[in-house]
Structure 1
Amino acid sequence: MTGDLTGKTIVITGATSGIGASAAHTLTQRGATVVPTGRSPQRAAALSEELGLEVLTADFARFADVRALAERILDRCPRIDVLVHNAGGMVPVRSDTTDGHETTLQTNYLAPFLLQSLLHDRLAESRAHTIVTSSVAHRAGKIRLDDLEFRERRYSAGAAYGAAKLADLLFSREIARHAEQTGITSVAFHPGAVASDFGRGATGPAGLVYNTALGRRLFTIDNDEGARPLVHLAADTDPRTVNGQYFNKLKPDASTSAQARDADLGTRLWATTEELLRPPVTR
């Protein structure tokens, strides 16, 4: 999908702030039909006014919102050329959502997984390209299939976020592995340390980077720079040539963690996630 984006439909979650909002502006200017989504109604209204189009709202901490969002996307989009899984964040203290899942895992991984599943048929019909916002933080994450939600192991915001972003990377690669059968390609990327609202929940060294004036000045980039890899992967690359890859900013990066390269773990994580999301049986 290179060159003119006229006629291309690009759905972006987490698009009402940060790199998602920046990418929505740029891709709209390049002619794409952008369908932005976000959690905040106030920010959605502001972005809607800026872009002159409807911005859909959904809180990824509620699966009911994700299901409603999927229905609205399907009603609005007869085809989807690109689906960007960009929504997510970090919470400083462990908590569960109303769906009973650890908040960081649900908002960064389980909700995107559910959205992908609900849109699967439309994505397959469109031979869509999926782009997943991961992070170099995945290298510090560890997947434990018997404790994905930090109910037994010690919780920290960084450990939970790293594990969720590792899950995102495995999710992207599992989609990519089945591209020949489904027609859906996938790529993941790290945008860089972006000075956005994302870091508000960071603690420890990450908190010093994101939540102090000196840290932000020395170590972070602005939203437009952070959005460049997203725009590049959505508009300026052939999806087939980047399928299954992980980009660190604008460059392919093979130095992912050992777990991120474990295809068997990716398959087992997918199956475990399907079980987590399976509707409860009514007795």
Structure 2
Amino acid sequence: MSVTLPHPSRMEGRTVVVTGASSGVGRAAARELALLGADVAVVGRNRERTEAVAAETGGRAFLADFDRLDAVRDLAAALLETYPAIHVLANNAGGIGPRERTEDGHDQTFQRNHLAGFLLTTLLLDRIRATADSAPEGSVRIVQTSSSAAGGGRVRLDDLDTRRGPWLAGWRAYSAAKLENILFTRELARRLAGTRVSAYAFHPGFVASGFGGDGPLMSLGKRLAIPPEAGAAPLVRLAAAPAIPAPSGNFFDRLTAPGRTSRLADDAELARGLWESSEGMVAR
């Protein structure tokens, strides 16, 4: 049986952290959440764009380059210092990078889409759980921006950095990372069982934004794409709906769950292995 996300409600008194908020879906979501009354932490890499969104929304700008795990640690420290409560964490940053390694030694696409968000979540998790103790039941959430590309993803725990095999213009790494977003969400939901914090992932749709570059195929596809405001609708509803009509760990295809994706997304052992491997990669 499928369910549909309800419309958002007012968010006064609630803090929402949105990564990748300087453009595209993240910027559109930050604007809408601010209009609903939320205090929005606007996280981005580009100073000018991030500060512009923060000024527009009345939120605060936080600069972080997710190609550096130390920058994620600094971001978490700044967020914890600034906000005594965090009601929603939206791990929205991502995209396809070139076949390059970050300074941490990881594939850029893997780190941007999964590993940095994993680290940020774990660093903020105690604060999020503490927030949930005094918030309305089910209102504190962690949201991952995934993609229908997860349906074609394959996750190999012995090659999370995609060092082997063809590159295919980054799509192998990207589809794997989007599947990792769902696996992470499901393992997070399992670990949060019995708490007042829930976790969800979603596909925003094919959005007309700067994602994917301006090659001929992407340019053609973007003519048929939805605007960022439409792509942000699932994120806004997952952050602001008074209740989510699906159990924690669900994947929404736009506004509907359960969304169709790879059968590997239901592999609990793979999800657990991804969590443990990610913990090892971010350990200091």
Question: Residue in 1 aligned with 2:72?
Answer: 66
Gaps of 5+ in 2: 1-5, 133-139
Q: What's the offset of the Cα at 1:181?
A: 4.0
Root-mean-square deviation (CA), in Å? 1.7
Percent identical: 43
Question: Residue in 2 aligned with 1:215?
Answer: 221
In 2: Cα distance, 1:52 partner to 1:255 partner = 37
In 2: Cα distance, 1:175 partner to 1:230 partner = 18
Secondary structure of 1:159 counterpart: helix
Q: What's the offset of the Cα at 1:184?
A: 2.4
- Aligned partner letter, 1:233: L
Secondary structure of 1:199 counterpart: coil
Among candidates 142, 164, 180, match of residue 167 of structure 1: 180
Q: What's the offset of the Cα at 1:150?
A: 1.2
Deviations 1:177-228 (A, max 9, x none): 1222443210000000101111217x7xxx61x2x2x42222x110000001
Q: Is the 8 A contact 2:204 2:254 kept in 1?
A: yes
Could you say if the C-alpha distance between residues 97 and 109 of structure 1 is closer, same or farther in structure 2, counting changes exceeding 3 Å? same
Among candidates 229, 235, 241, match of residue 230 of structure 1: 235
Among candidates 25, 46, 52, match of residue 46 of structure 1: 52
Paired residue total: 270
In 1: Cα distance, 2:117 partner to 2:68 partner = 12
In 2: Cα distance, 1:158 partner to 1:258 partner = 19
Among candidates 93, 96, 120, match of residue 87 of structure 1: 93
Q: What's the offset of the Cα at 1:239?
A: 4.5
Secondary structure of 1:49 counterpart: helix
Question: Residue in 1 aligned with 2:122?
Answer: 117
TM-score (norm 2): 0.90
Q: What's the offset of the Cα at 1:11?
A: 0.7
**Aligned ranges 1:246-261 → 2 under 5 Å:** 246-261=251-266
Q: What's the offset of the Cα at 1:125?
A: 0.8
Secondary structure of 2:93 counterpart: coil
In 1: Cα distance, 2:9 partner to 2:207 partner = 27
TM-score (norm 1): 0.91
Matched, 1:134 2:140: no
In 2: Cα distance, 1:155 partner to 1:61 partner = 19
Q: What's the offset of the Cα at 1:137?
A: 0.3
Q: Is the 8 A contact 1:5 1:30 kept in 2?
A: yes
Deviations 1:110-136 (A, max 9, x none): 000000111111011112310000000
Q: What's the offset of the Cα at 1:241?
A: 3.6
Matched, 1:33 2:45: no
Secondary structure of 1:11 counterpart: strand
Q: What's the offset of the Cα at 1:237?
A: 4.6
Matched, 1:189 2:189: no
